[in-house]
Structure 1
Amino acid sequence: MSYLSDNYVEETRFGLWFLRSYTWQYRVLRVAIDDLSSLFSEPLPSNPVLLDAGCGQGKSFKHLQQTFMPGRLIGVDADPHSLNQSREEAVYQGIAVELIGSDCATLAVPDASVDLLFCHQTFHHLVEQEKTLAEFYRVLKPGGYLLFAESTEAYIDTWVIRWLFRHPMHVQKSAAQYLEMIRRQGFEFGPQNVSYPYLWWSRAKDLGLLERLGLRQPKPFGQREETLVNVVARKPLKGGV
């Protein structure tokens, strides 16, 4: 298949199946969107232009529509097959979505035209991360928000994830490194805008099996290497594109 990115890392068959699953839609996507919506320090924008960067098969559209009620919803992905499935999902859900075939590092979106940019479990698939983050900053309006939800290297670099999925391993980062990258780009956020979900599926090595069997106690915050990080980061009102 011809992908719309020179650096695209092709997903496994299992990975493509998982992105259609109930678990992905309701235990991963919906949970992340609910958490991100709770991290805003200000009221949510009204009728926002919302861009879903790496929309995949469109399973986020329903939850984004219900939570943020966008006036305009844009989906971007570099996989033509996934875009076709996103189109079918949008029709099935009765949601108007503008779909763009593009690498996230070269968004075909005007400067300062987006209110909310949703990037969920996409960034660890991308090779040109610095360039992508600069694009996110460019397309957001002053005062716009990046909704960033990501798995960290501590999770991606485990045997079970390496076995089931495909990722560019040389670009994986810790939670602290992702947050520093976002801040270095110029985004603003405080501790109240960041969360570190500790969900069963995000447990490194055993997906929480030993904890569910009562054979291990979960490590408290501050005593574990975080496997997930969510942040709502704002582009400053002043400072231009």
Structure 2
Amino acid sequence: MTYASPTYVEETRIGFRFLATHTWQHHVLRVAINDLKRLIGEPLPQGGSLLDVGCGQGKSFRLLRDAFQPTRLLGLDADPHSVTLSEAEADREGMPVELLTADCANIPLPDASLDIVFCHQTFHHLVEQERALTEFWRVLKPGGLLLFAESTKAYIDTWVIRWFFRHPMEVQKSAEEYLQMLRKQGFVFDAKNVSFPYLWWSRSKDFGLMERWGLRAPPPPGQRDETLVNAAVRKPRIA
């Protein structure tokens, strides 16, 4: 397989299959999009152009359409097979989606051409993270939104995830390090635009089993290694 990114890290077979499951769409994608909507606040942006970077197999398309009603929906992935599956998903949903087989670090779109960039569980797969973030900034219009939902090093660097999935471990970051990257790039946001979900599937050791069985209380924020970070951040209207 020839990928659109020279630094692409190929997913395992089980990881690729997981992205087609109901669990992924319902317990991961849907939950993240609902949380990002909350972080944006009311009124939600409607219409305009929206790009899903790292769209995978297109399971986000219907959820993004229902949430934001974009007049132009685009999906980008470096894996040609994923793009083919995304095209089939868009056809099943009866949705017009423009699909790009491309690298997040080299997005083939004009400057200031997008209203929203949706980056869900993609960034920790990218080797060239700084370049990708610069590209997100470039293609967003002034005032545009980056919807960023990411797993952190505390989760990616666990035996379960290392066993079943494949990632570039040298670029994994903490929640605060990801937020620092966003600030350094120039994105603006407040505490109300950021969340640190502690979902069962993201528990770093036992998927929350000890807590569900009543054998241990969940650690409060500030006393745990955050495994997820969601942020709705803006490119300022005036740089």
Identify whether the pair has TM-score above 0.5, normalized to the shorter chain. yes
The residue identity in structure 2 corresponding to 1:64 is: L
Match in the other structure for 2:161: 161
Match in the other structure for 1:121: 121
Match in the other structure for 1:31: 31
The answer on whether the counterparts of 1:41 and 1:192 sit within 8 Å (CA) in structure 2 is no
Deviations 1:113-169 (A, max 9, x none): 100100000000000000000000000000000000000000000000000100000
- Aligned-residue identity in percent: 65
Q: What pairs with 1:88-237 in structure 2 (closer than 5 Å)? A: 88-237=88-237
Distance 2:209 2:13 in 1: 24
CA RMSD of aligned residues (A): 0.8
How far residue 46 of structure 1 moved from its aligned partner, in angstroms, is 2.6
Structure 2: gaps of 5 or more residues: none
The answer on whether the counterparts of 1:197 and 1:228 sit within 8 Å (CA) in structure 2 is yes
How far residue 41 of structure 1 moved from its aligned partner, in angstroms, is 4.4
Distance 1:75 1:144 in 2: 17
Deviations 1:84-136 (A, max 9, x none): 00000000011110000000000001100100100000000000000000000
The residue identity in structure 2 corresponding to 1:40 is: I
TM-score calculated relative to the size of structure 1? 0.98
**Length, aligned pairs only:** 239
Deviations 1:13-49 (A, max 9, x none): 1101110011100000000000001111452223120
Deviations 1:25-82 (A, max 9, x none): 0000000000001111452223120000000000000100111111100000000000
- Of residues 208-217 and 30-39 in structure 1, the stretch that sits farther from structure 2 once superposed is 208-217
Distance 1:42 1:115 in 2: 16
The residue identity in structure 2 corresponding to 1:34 is: N
Distance 1:217 1:165 in 2: 28
The residue identity in structure 2 corresponding to 1:113 is: S
Distance 1:236 1:43 in 2: 18
Task: Flag as ranges the 4+ runs of structure 1 deviating above 4 A.
Answer: none
Match in the other structure for 1:21: 21
- Match of 1:106, SS state, is coil
TM-score calculated relative to the size of structure 2? 0.98
How far residue 212 of structure 1 moved from its aligned partner, in angstroms, is 1.9
Structure 1: gaps of 5 or more residues: none
